[in-house]
Structure 1
Amino acid sequence: MKPATWNRNRAAVGSWLAWCADKKNWATPALPATVERQRENNDDTQAVSRSRIDRLCRRRDVPLREKTLWRMRYESASRTSAVLALNIQDLGLPNKQAKITTKGGDIMWITWGTDTAHLLPRLIAGRERGPLFLSEHRPGSYRRATTDLRDICPETGRVRLGYDRARVLLAHYGDGLRLHQLRHSSATHLGEANVIMAKTGYKSLRSVQRYVKPGLAAVHQATETLSSPRRRG
């Protein structure tokens, strides 16, 4: 078990035991002394530079589908599974946004920037329904019969692009780059643009959370900072 997972589970169990003792007055055991927090090593290589992402997405040997997926993944800062689950009818192209279902089941908006907006019409190529990101080829009869109809494009017969294939392609073209690094990089670059802690002098993120409740318009504006300079102009 990774240290971060161990520490998260330890904290959850400790909080639950404390709640049982304080709120319910139940006789509960304490966490054993041997159950200590584990050291978490920071990995500062997770985030990559904007210029590296921009260069990768401009390469002529990279297919349009991959360019669009990586741009949207980076600009939306969304989970790969949520982006791959998008259907064309989910997209609000004029507003550069779409509704997704989060890992916990909540519904939220994701937004993308100008670079993704320029690529999407070419990727969709006139299609009106079905998965946004499709496999390269039509599946065989067996796979087609065992695939959910919602994951098959009614116009092309191709199926929804899978996570494993998307992961392999990014590693191939991106010299080992991982899908999670696009989301990590997006969050890092957005954080660099937000100087509220430096301006207010607060030392804790909890202290500034009450001020950080951006509306959708502010999210769109922040998203544009992730677009390449030639598009933002």
Structure 2
Amino acid sequence: MVRKGGARDVVSWQTSIARLLPRLIAGRRRGPLFLTDRKAKPSVAQADVDPTTQRARLSYRRAATLFEQHTASMKRDPFTLHQLRHSKLTHAVETGASTPMLMALSGHASVRSLAKYIKVSAEAMGRWQADTGPASRRRGR
């Protein structure tokens, strides 16, 4: 994966997602994975066109619109891709990920910018306090 500024990342998939990838890839060796519904316009860069179907890579804007449409019926308001990214960070914090791990996951270069996006829930804070407080240390003996 290539981040803003051209930095390259290795993508590490969780097992449940990795098991679904073969369905998405379906034996393909090159070209984008997430495609538009119709054939690409001639002006689209060849690197953004699937050589088999001639459909274009799905833009971030279109992916965001589709994601919001498909999450609109959920209990809370529709979700955005940006919220999804940050919820991943929050879940990682709540399960004990270290700051360097969070920075690598998010791509943030500074702890200050990372901290803006992490919102620990009251339930997670309660669990952490119960697991690390003096009473839990006495139970562990």
Task: Give the TM-score normalised by structure 1.
Answer: 0.39
2:101 and 2:86 mapped to 1: Cα distance? 21
SS in 2 for 1:137: strand
Cα displacement (A) at 1:147: 0.5
Cα displacement (A) at 1:195: 6.9
Q: Which runs of structure 2 are paired with 1:182-221 in the superposition (5 Å)? A: 182-194=84-96, 212=100
Instruction: State the match for 1:61 in structure 2.
Output: none
Instruction: State the match for 1:131 in structure 2.
Output: 32
Instruction: State the match for 2:57 in structure 1.
Output: 160
SS in 2 for 1:123: helix
Choose from 98, 107, 125 the match for 2:8: 107
Give the count of matched residue pairs.
Answer: 98
Cα displacement (A) at 1:138: 1.8
Amino acid of the structure 2 residue aligned with 1:160: R
Structure with the larger RCO, 1 or 2 (CA within 8 Å, 6+ apart): 1
Q: Which runs of structure 2 are paired with 1:1-233 in the superposition (5 Å)? A: 100-139=1-40, 143=41, 145-175=42-72, 176-194=78-96, 212=100
Structure 1 residues 110-132: Cα deviation after superposition (integer angstroms, max 9, x where no partner): 21112221221111122221111
Greater radius of gyration (CA) = 1
Gap change, CA 1:149 and 1:161, over 3 Å in 2? same
Gap change, CA 1:180 and 1:195, over 3 Å in 2? closer
Structure 2 unaligned runs (5+)? 73-77, 105-141
2:97 and 2:61 mapped to 1: Cα distance? 36
Amino acid of the structure 2 residue aligned with 1:146: S
Computed over aligned residues only, the root mean square deviation of the Cα atoms, in angstroms, reads 2.3
Amino acid of the structure 1 residue aligned with 2:67: L
Instruction: State the match for 1:31 in structure 2.
Output: none
2:101 and 2:18 mapped to 1: Cα distance? 25
Task: Give the TM-score normalised by structure 2.
Answer: 0.61
Cα displacement (A) at 1:172: 0.8
Q: Is the 8 A contact 1:133 1:160 kept in 2?
A: yes
SS in 2 for 1:170: helix
Identical aligned residues as a percent: 42
Gap change, CA 1:103 and 1:126, over 3 Å in 2? same
2:53 and 2:94 mapped to 1: Cα distance? 42
SS in 2 for 1:101: coil
Instruction: State the match for 2:129 in structure 1.
Output: none
Amino acid of the structure 2 residue aligned with 1:188: T
Instruction: State the match for 1:230 in structure 2.
Output: none
Cα displacement (A) at 1:213: 6.5
Gap change, CA 1:163 and 1:195, over 3 Å in 2? closer
Q: Is the 8 A contact 1:127 1:155 kept in 2?
A: no
